[in-house]
Amino acid sequence: MFIDSHCHLNFPGLVEDLDNILANMRANEVTHALCVSVDLDTFPQVLALAESKGNLYASVGVHPDYELETEATQAQLVSLAQHPKVIAIGETGLDYFRLTGDLEWQRERFRTHIRAAKECGKPLIVHTRSAAADTLRIMDEEDAGQVGGVMHCFTENLQVALAAIELGFYISFSGILTFKNATLIKEVAQNIPLHKILIETDSPYLAPTPYRGKTNQPAYVKHVAEEIAKLRNITLSEVGEVTSFNFRRLFLNAK
């Protein structure tokens, strides 16, 4: 009934505890989870998770926070994305919060990911932090809307959300939405179309209230759904149904 559209189950703290994590998912009606890659070195671990469990999927990409000597090429990304359990390209995007200085390499890397996504016809998982204007500009310039994707762990304002939707993207909310002071993000969750919303945990980070500060896990995505239900005055099952449908439509080409 719920799908975690973004988690890192290969990270320490989660990978050792996989059986419990999968059991907790079942107990909380979290049917599927998308395990998101952050670099090519650890991609095999992410893919192994997706290959080992029918309800886990993988993505391939290099996170904007990692400065590397060798960049992943478009051809490399496209080739790794051929695996049937790889359903997205990412996470990719821009992060001007963690890193400063000349970040032209980040923008180039983002463009390479968008081109790879368009070449293989798989949607993008976009990470953006303190870089909304450049993120939207590059998505527009590279015609990312051709494949679409998701703005993951959304923390920008309503205007940015609407601009991303206009470009053909979904908006995914994480546990941050449940934090008391997240007024701006709550406003976004109240005002964008329900058929453009996804939910995620970004596990092991960003555990929602009441687990704030602890290790996050996909089962907790239910708390994000609960917050959306409360904000929009609809039922929890409606949020589960619509966001799961949205996930399938975006990543699995379901009509």
Binding residues for Zn ion, rule: CB under 5 A, are: 91, 127, 202
- Cβ 107 vs Cβ 128: under 8 Å: no
Rounded CA-CA distance 38/40 in Å is 7
- Whichever of 202 and 227 has its CB closer to Zn ion, that residue is 202
Closest residue by beta carbon to Zn ion: 127
- Whichever of 111 and 232 has its CB closer to Zn ion, that residue is 111
- Cβ 64 vs Cβ 127: under 8 Å: yes
- Whichever of 7 and 234 has its CB closer to Zn ion, that residue is 7
State in angstroms the smallest separation of the CB of 41 from Zn ion: 16
State in angstroms the smallest separation of the CB of 40 from Zn ion: 15
State in angstroms the smallest separation of the CB of 12 from Zn ion: 15
- Cβ 164 vs Cβ 151: under 8 Å: yes
Rounded CA-CA distance 163/169 in Å is 9
3-state secondary structure of 158: helix
Amino acid at 5: S
CA 149 → CA 199, 212, 226, 235, 252, distances in Å?
A: 13, 28, 23, 26, 12
State in angstroms the smallest separation of the CB of 255 from Zn ion: 28
State in angstroms the smallest separation of the CB of 234 from Zn ion: 27
Cis (ω within 30 of 0) for the bond into 166? Answer: no
Rounded CA-CA distance 101/177 in Å is 30
State in angstroms the smallest separation of the CB of 125 from Zn ion: 8
Give which of 25, 1, 32, 3 is closest to 217, Cα–Cα. 25
- Whichever of 91 and 227 has its CB closer to Zn ion, that residue is 91
- Whichever of 118 and 127 has its CB closer to Zn ion, that residue is 127
- Whichever of 98 and 137 has its CB closer to Zn ion, that residue is 98
The gap from C-alpha 74 to its chain's centroid, in whole angstroms, comes to 20
Rounded CA-CA distance 132/128 in Å is 6
